[in-house]
Structure formats: C-alpha cells, structure tokens
A and B are shown apart, each in its own frame.
Chain A
C-alpha cells in the first residue's frame, strides 16, 4: 500500500488564490521530505528539501516566499503556493525519505494544480 499520502490530488482555482498541498508519511518517520514540480513531458524538478523542525532548503530559482513549506512533524509537510497564477499550473509531487541512506524515496500520488 501507499507509504506516502498526498492531498489533494487535483485543484482547479482562480488566479490569486493560495493553495495548500499536504504530504504525509503513513508508516514511517520522514526526517526529510522533498517537493518536486513536473511540467508536461519533462522530468521531475526538485523545488525544495524540507527537514523536520528546520527551514526548507530551496533550489536555485525557486521563490521561497511564493512556495511556502512547513515541516512541523515527522509525518507531515505542507507546500503552499501563494497567490497562484496560471504559470504555476503544474504537477506537484512530494516524496519522503528517512535518515537511512539505503532506503528509497517514496512518492505521493501528486497534485495536479490548474490555475484559471
């Protein structure tokens, strides 16, 4: 069964709306969660790395004030797309990992965000 749960699976909203996406690890403690964005026919692009209890580390070119990440517990991280615009429409996917380097990252089911 799924080890990482992501919610919601799809969001359609008006421009200017803020959207929150949740990512939960279901049966393990995720010390690190990763947020990716994927445009059609392109590979996954890492947006930020989220460590429990500390500030997220953003990749170059990703606006931290635009994409707010909170990792308040070992099982939950949230990504908030603030004041979303049509260019933010994309497939957002989270993944979770443990401190053990030999464990694979497991991905959530993804959130398809469409901004009108």
Chain B
C-alpha cells in the first residue's frame, strides 16, 4: 500500500521559519512533490525532489532522503500570504506514475 504522513496543522510567526515534515511508504518512487494550496484554490507547484539532498528555490527549500522515506519543506522569512495548506505528494511508477497525496499541512502565519 501507499502511506504518506504529514502534520495536520502548524502555526508560526511572520518572519520566522517553519519546517513541514513528510514521511512516505510507497511501492516505488519516482519523485516527491510539494504543492501550496490556498483555501478555495487549486494547488500550485512548489518543488520537486528525486535525488537525495536539498533543493533551494528562494524562500522555499525542500529536502529528500530516499533511504529514510522522508522529506521536508522549509519556509523561510514567513509572510502572511504563506498561510495555506502544503501538500506532499509522491509519484509511484508501480502505480502508473500517479501522484499520491498526503493529507496536507495547514500553516497559519500570525503577525
């Protein structure tokens, strides 16, 4: 089976850093994706990891450890507009390369 776990909610202060963890157990692995979703909107692509290590893109960074089945999304210099749900998704070639999503982490940024 496939299982992707991430925390349900996190709260942080504007200007701070927040790390959202994601652990996964899948039959196969062909990349891990992070998406941002604001309430009432569709997800937007943030980052993609297929090899171990850190991918940095501006204020957002994503890390992957395939041996541990673990990833995190790091949000730096938090802004109020970063309040959203963050979805971790794994692409599994054993499942036709479709994405399996975690439950999402709602991040609330407070002034």
Contacts and interface: CB of A to CB of B under 8 A. Distances in A.
Given A44-B43, A107-B43, A110-B41, A102 B98 contact: no
Size bracket of the B interface:
20 to 34
A110 B41 CA distance: 7
Interface residues of A, number: 23
A34 B99 CA distance: 9
Contacts of B41: 109-110
Contacts of B104: 43
A49 B45 contact: no
A109 B41 CA distance: 7
B97 interface: yes
A46 interface: yes
B96 interface: yes
Contact of A105 (B30, B50, B99): B99
Interface of B: 30-31, 33, 35, 40-45, 48, 50, 87, 91, 93, 96-104
Interface of A: 6, 32, 34, 42-44, 46, 49, 57, 91, 93, 95, 97, 101-102, 104-110, 112
Given A43-B104, A44-B43, A109-B42, 14 more contacts: A6-B42, A32-B97, A34-B98, A43-B103, A49-B96, A93-B42, A101-B97, A102-B48, A104-B33, A104-B45, A106-B45, A107-B42, A107-B44, A110-B42
